């Protein structure tokens, strides 16, 4: 435990000021997403007598056109978007990494089939894939998750396949093969240490892309089904009341900005290097 704490402290000390600020923004957003539902427990409860109620101490973002807590809905929507994004990226990384290593290791027909499958997905815009899957779901979360994961696994596959092919043809892996150390040794000692920084950077930007995809689908009305709170859906619902209650549409848009700026700032130094 102490070694893990020491390692975490060392990593924090190695972050630039911009990265620390970005990490702080993301942590504040995560705390809001986790703690928000405890403060505002029912984001779908309506009270029409509180139509467009202005912000107050108990309701810092006021109430929407149906008398629902905007802060409560924003916290739930933020938590939902982040959970879906992390789940999609984790699935895409596992699928893309395994398929990429398998294609580079086995070659031949396996490589041809997997490469052809990835090219077929590349031929379609990523958002179109998500849109088609989500349009058939009727707002079900699992199909939204599946659509985004399907759209994202390709980039991990292509990067891992290309990098693994170089590593597997190198002298270190050839020596391990001659010594009959086995595939797990090659994967643990030679492939994973080299692939981990690449996948970490890609995953960071992938989370931002997934959050944007979820919000875009909600904005056009084919994402999460109402009354479940979702960032893009909240922006769309608030548009007709922008002049009376501008905070209703500004708040979810600001959350998206914080997510993207935080993720971008967190990886800027590493990406540049």
pTM for the structure as a whole: 0.86
CA distance 175 to 24: 45
CA distance 89 to 156: 10
CA distance 247 to 76: 17
In this prediction, residue 9 carries a pLDDT of: 65
CA distance 129 to 148: 8
In this prediction, residue 270 carries a pLDDT of: 47
CA distance 36 to 137: 28
| Domain boundaries along the sequence of the chain | 77-272
> Which residues on adjacent β-strands are paired with residue 69?
63
Question: What is the DSSP code (8-state) at residue 225?
Answer: P
In this prediction, residue 70 carries a pLDDT of: 95
Q: How would DSSP label each residue in 57-122?
A: SS-TT-B-TTS-BHHHHHHHHHHHHHHHHHHHHHHHHHHHHHHHHHHHHH-HHHHHHHHHHHHHHH
In this prediction, residue 112 carries a pLDDT of: 92
Neighbours of 190 (CB within 10 A): 19
CB 154 within 8 A of CB 171: no
Among residues 97, 77, 96, 93, the alpha carbon closest in space to that of 36 is found at: 77
For 77-272, CATH number out of 3.50.50.60, 1.25.40.10, 3.40.50.10950, 1.10.3720.10 equals 1.10.3720.10
CB 45 within 8 A of CB 68: yes
Mean pLDDT by 10 residues, the chain (273 residues): 57 74 90 91 90 92 93 95 95 95 90 89 74 67 85 92 89 77 82 91 92 88 84 93 92 94 74 44
Ramachandran category for residue 47: left, alpha or beta (phi over 0 → left; psi -120 to 50 → alpha): beta
Tokens 């056109």 belong to which residue?
65
In this prediction, residue 135 carries a pLDDT of: 66
In this prediction, residue 144 carries a pLDDT of: 83
Neighbours of 29 (CB within 10 A): 18
In this prediction, residue 218 carries a pLDDT of: 86
Would you give the end-to-end CA distance of the chain in angstroms? 30
């Amino acid at each position: 435990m102490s070694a893990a704490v020491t390692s975490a402290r060392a990593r924090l000390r190695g972050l630039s000021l911009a990265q620390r600020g970005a990490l702080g923004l993301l942590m504040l957003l995560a705390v809001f997403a986790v703690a928000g539902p405890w403060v505002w427990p029912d984001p779908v409860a309506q009270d029409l007598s509180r139509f467009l109620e202005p912000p107050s101490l108990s309701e810092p973002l006021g109430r929407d056109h149906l008398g629902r807590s905007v802060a409560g809905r924003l916290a739930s929507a933020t938590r939902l978007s982040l959970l879906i994004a992390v789940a999609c990226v984790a699935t895409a990384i596992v699928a893309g990494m395994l398929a990429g290593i398998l294609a580079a290791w086995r070659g031949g027909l396996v490589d041809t089939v997997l490469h052809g499958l990835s090219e077929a997905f590349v031929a379609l815009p990523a958002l179109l894939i998500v849109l088609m899957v989500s349009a058939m779901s009727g707002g079900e979360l699992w199909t939204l998750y599946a659509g985004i994961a399907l759209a994202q696994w390709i980039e991990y596959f292509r990067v891992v396949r290309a990098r693994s092919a170089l590593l597997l043809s190198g002298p270190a892996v050839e020596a391990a093969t001659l010594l009959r150390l086995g595939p797990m040794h090659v994967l643990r000692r030679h492939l994973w240490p080299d692939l981990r920084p690449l996948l970490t950077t890609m995953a960071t930007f992938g989370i931002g892309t997934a959050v944007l995809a979820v919000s875009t689908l909600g904005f056009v009305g084919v994402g999460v089904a109402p009354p479940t709170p979702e960032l893009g859906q909240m922006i769309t619902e608030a548009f007709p009341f922008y002049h009376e209650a501008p905070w209703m549409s500004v708040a979810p848009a600001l959350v998206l900005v914080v997510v993207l700026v935080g993720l971008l700032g967190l990886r800027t130094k590493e990406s540049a290097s």
